[in-house]
Chains A and B, each alone.
Chain A
């Protein structure tokens, strides 16, 4: 489906609808250029699951962890591979300990940086932007 968004609130609305389909254990790739709404989308997902804290860009931190307590999903992992330069860096992230757990859903920005396909996606969401109109497709 292709959705159009004109502002942050609409992007979060689309994210909340997507979040309602998640059961736990999913890994979601968020693909799209700078400023196309990837982090805003995760903010919408976190809101859907009742997370009350601040959802910030994980570009520097690489992985943010939001604890939630609604149903079987307890953790939202918000990741960003933007700063990963070499496939060898994935080993140090110990992602195998985190991804695919039934109580965890993971969102990964800039998954293209994983050139050796170390991580597999359950869903891929594409973000693009012309002027101020954002398109979100999954």
Chain B
């Protein structure tokens, strides 16, 4: 089976063609707007296209994908139907509907979070076994999800305020680092002492599996103000690196602690770490290491770096599983759902 997939839920416009190969998914093509070079030209000028301008991106990307105009060789179409921004989602959903209807191919609606779970099925010969516990961390999400089987999910916990990725970006801003903040903080943290400042590990002792990063952000702000007031020229470079390292350690400790707590409660066969923040090396290595101490039989899975951020390939993988279960939707009635619930699927 070959699936054409479409993702436009937030910043990125992305299209992919994914093919099934025994237990894994082969990504034939995966084009993401922030990394794409648009070869299509308008009046001899390559236009400047901003993030989230999905309407401007989508047809040039379609051309780049270079598939037959009659959809030959494509067996199904998968599109992210939510959650996300309505005007953004709508561009992808409408494209999916039109292609499905005019090519007379089945259409599946994929939840964006479900896509992130399936990012670890891409290009691997060692897919996770069920039940699988997933920590999904990105700019907009911080959730713990138990995947009991393909298409069967249970939301165990989530952030009550800021997502982990957002905390990275906002702390980067407080430290005067450029956007996006995650990689910048990690780089600066290499020069600092992760135990230098004892930032709060929010909700570590709470019984539930929810997260909160807003208080940590405030603690960093107070710390930046305090350290800056000690020097006339503002924040000292050593203090800056210490704050970055200590902050990163606090986030990683919190994420790993709650994930291990969820492992003890749910006894999974595998653990998945996915989403944009899963590219963070300290988080990957700490979780892998701590997990092997808790139970060496539990396998650890994280996507290739190229599939950590938003991309259509992961939507294609999730969509193919849905297509195999014949969970099709009507191309004439599908709507983008900004609050789409993973559990209601």
Contacts and interface: CB of A to CB of B under 8 A. Distances in A.
Interface of A: 34-35, 39-40, 54, 56-57, 59-63, 65, 67, 85-86, 88-89, 91-94, 97, 131-132
Contacts of A131: 222
B286 interface: no
B339 A65 contact: yes
Given A35-B221, A60-B165, A89 B50 contact: yes
Contact of B218 (A35, A91, A94): A35
User: Which of A56, A88, A131: most chain B CB closer than 10 A?
Assistant: A56
Nearest to A93: B87
Contacts of A63: 85-86, 338
A67 B341 CA distance: 14
B88 interface: yes
A59 B170 CA distance: 10
A124 to B, nearest CB: 22
By size class, the interface of chain B is: 35 or more
B50 A88 contact: yes
A98 B262 CA distance: 39
Contacts of A57: 161-163, 166, 214
A39 B214 contact: yes
A62 B338 CA distance: 12
Interface in B23-75: 50-55
Contacts of A88: 50, 53
A74 B53 CA distance: 28
Nearest to A61: B140
Given A60-B163, A88-B50, A131-B222, 13 more contacts: A34-B170, A35-B217, A54-B160, A56-B159, A56-B160, A57-B161, A57-B162, A57-B214, A60-B139, A61-B84, A65-B86, A89-B52, A92-B50
B10 interface: yes
User: Which of B54, B85, B88: most chain A CB closer than 10 A?
Assistant: B85
Contacts of A39: 161-162, 214
Contacts of A92: 50, 52-55, 87-88
A61 B339 CA distance: 11
Given A88-B50, A131-B222, A59 B162 contact: yes
7 contacts: A39-B214, A60-B138, A61-B84, A88-B53, A92-B50, A92-B52, A132-B222
B160 A93 contact: no
Given A34-B170, A59-B170, A61-B140, A85 B50 contact: yes
User: Which of A60, A94, A131: most chain B CB closer than 10 A?
Assistant: A60
Nearest to B158: A54
